[in-house]
Amino acid sequence: MDRMLILKAISDETRMNILVLLLQHNYCVRALARKLNLSEAAISQHLKIFREAELITGEKRGYFIHYKVNRSILHELAADIEDLATIKRQICTPEEGGCYPSEQERCHVQKEKCDAGENPCCRAQSLEDGQNERHGHCHCRKPE
């Protein structure tokens, strides 16, 4: 599964509409074109992107190919996104962050006095756990 191809495929509004229709029912190009008020050529181009991402498969029925969604790909993508949401934030150190010396002074040394008004490097935001603040790319500890 190529996540980037899948995400690019579903990032277009028209393709997302096609995907929703195909999740509800198997359709051919002509039926999708009529439902979405688009040309058959436009639908075919969108379906090509879905096929490249392995999101859909086609089954020939007479003169037409009816398309259906490969739901297992969507389930895999959902699991990957869920895994992303569980990644824990870590405190950034100058070595890990690849900071220049001037950034180290502003972001890492002045943690206790970090205020967006005082220090342009800081972009203070409370995080979910209330333990950290985000300063630019750094995750400095709140003063105790």
pTM of the model: 0.65
- Does residue 110 carry a pLDDT above 90? no
Domain that holds residue 124: 94-141
139, containing H or E segment: strand 138-141
Per the domain annotation, does 77 fall within a domain? yes
Could you read off the pLDDT of 22-47 as tens digits, one per residue?
A: 999 999 999 999 999 999 999 999 99
pLDDT number for residue 91: 74
- Asked which of 83, 110, 128 is the last residue of a domain, the reply is 83
Note whether 13 and 36 are same-domain residues: yes
Could you read off the pLDDT of 49-94 as tens digits, one per residue?
A: 999 999 999 999 999 999 999 999 999 999 999 999 999 887 767 6
Note whether 53 and 7 are same-domain residues: yes
The CA distances from residue 50 to 43, 61, 63, 103, in Å, are 11, 20, 21, 44
